[in-house]
Amino acid sequence: MSKNLQILPLGGMGEIGKNLTIYEYGNNMIVVDCGVMFPENDMYGIDLVLPDFSYILKNKNKLRGIVLTHGHMDHIGALPYLLRDVNAPVYGTPLTLGLVRRKLEEANLLANSDLRPLGEVEHLGPFRVKPFPVAHSIPDSVGLVIETPVGSVVHTGDYKLDETPAGGRTTDLNKLKKLTPEGVLVMLGDSTNADQPGRTETEAVVAETLDRLFKQAKGERIIIATFSSVLARLQEIIYLAEKHNRKVALTGRSLVENIELARELGYLKVPKGILVDIHASTPAEDLVILSTGSQGELRSALNRMANGEHRQVSIQPGDTVIISGGTIPGNEEVVGRMLNNLFERGAHVIYGAMATVHVSGHGSREDMRMMLEAVKPRFMIPAHGEARHLHLHAKLAQETGMKAENTFILRDGSRWLTDGKKAWTEGGLELDEVYVDGRLVGEIGELVMRDRQRLSQDGFVVALIPIDKKNKLSGEPQFVSRGFVYLKDSGKLLDEGREQIRRHHTKGAAQLRRALEDFFYRETQSRPVVLPQYIQS
Which positions are catalytic? 190, 362
Task: Answer positive or negative: Cα dihedral of 174, 176, 182, 184.
Answer: negative
CA distance 126 to 21: 17
3-state secondary structure of 221: coil
Element (H, E) at 437: strand 434-437
Q: DSSP string covering 304-320, please?
A: HHHTT--SS----TT-E
The answer to whether 208 and 240 have CB atoms below 8 angstroms apart is: no
Q: Which strands, in side-by-side order, build the sheet including 348-350?
A: 275-276, 247-251, 287-291, 222-226, 320-324, 348-350
Which residue(s) pair with 247 in the sheet? 287
CA atoms within 13 A on the CB side of 199: 10
CA atoms within 13 A on the CB side of 32: 28
CA distance 354 to 339: 13
CA distance 27 to 20: 19
Element (H, E) at 465: strand 460-467
